[in-house]
Amino acid sequence: MSPASRYSLFSGSYAPEDAVFLLKPVELAPLEIEERERRVQSGECHYSEMIGPEEAPDPLYMELFADAMDRGLPRLASDFVKLAALVAKKPGPLTLLSIARSGTPAGVVLCRLLCGLFSRDAVHFSFSVIRDRGADLNALKFVASLRPPESAVFVDGWTGKGVIARELKKTLAESEGPLGQRFGGDLAVLSDLCGEADMSPGTDDWLIPTCLLNSTVSGLVSRTVLNRDLIGPGDFHGCVYYRDLEPCDVSRETADGITRAAEKAARDDPSLLLWDRNVTGMQKAAARVKSIAFLEKVRRLYGVDDQNLAKPGIGEATRVLLRRSPELLLVRDQDDPDVRHAVLLARARGVAIENDPSLAYKAAALIRKTCWHGGHGEGDAGSAGGDGSAGGDAGRGGGDAGSAGGEGGHDGRRGGGDGGSSGKDGPQGSEPER
Secondary element (H or E) of residue 294: helix 281-302
Mean pLDDT of 108-130: 97
Least trusted range by pLDDT, from 119-128, 280-289, 400-409: 400-409
pLDDT of 394: 33
Mean pLDDT of 133-140: 94
Contact 157, 110 (CB under 8 A): no
State the first-to-last Cα distance of the chain, in angstroms, to the nearest integer. 32
Contact 125, 149 (CB under 8 A): no
What pairing do the DSSP bridges indicate for beta strands 152-159 and 94-99?
parallel
Interval 171-224: pLDDT, tens: 998 886 667 778 878 999 999 999 999 999 999 999 999 999 989 999 999 989
Q: How far is CA 32 from the centre of its chain?
A: 21
Contact 80, 114 (CB under 8 A): no
Whether the bond into 223 is cis, omega within 30 of 0: no
Give the chain's domain count. Answer: 1
Please check the confidence at residue 390 and state whether its pLDDT lies above 60.
Answer: no
Please check the confidence at residue 409 and state whether its pLDDT lies above 70.
Answer: no
Name which residue leads in pLDDT, 191 or 429. Answer: 191
pLDDT of 8: 63
Three-class DSSP category at 307: helix
pLDDT of 241: 96
Contact 274, 323 (CB under 8 A): no
Interval 174-186: pLDDT, tens: 886 667 778 878 9
pLDDT of 382: 29
Secondary element (H or E) of residue 25: strand 24-25
Domain carrying residue 308: 1-434
pLDDT of 148: 93
Interval 242-296: pLDDT, tens: 999 999 999 999 999 999 999 999 999 999 999 999 999 999 999 999 999 999 9
pLDDT of 433: 59
pLDDT of 52: 79
Contact 329, 346 (CB under 8 A): yes
pLDDT of 77: 98
Average pLDDT, the chain: 84
What residues contact 32, with CB distance under 8 A and at least 6 apart?
A: 52, 53, 423, 424
Strand partners, 326: 367
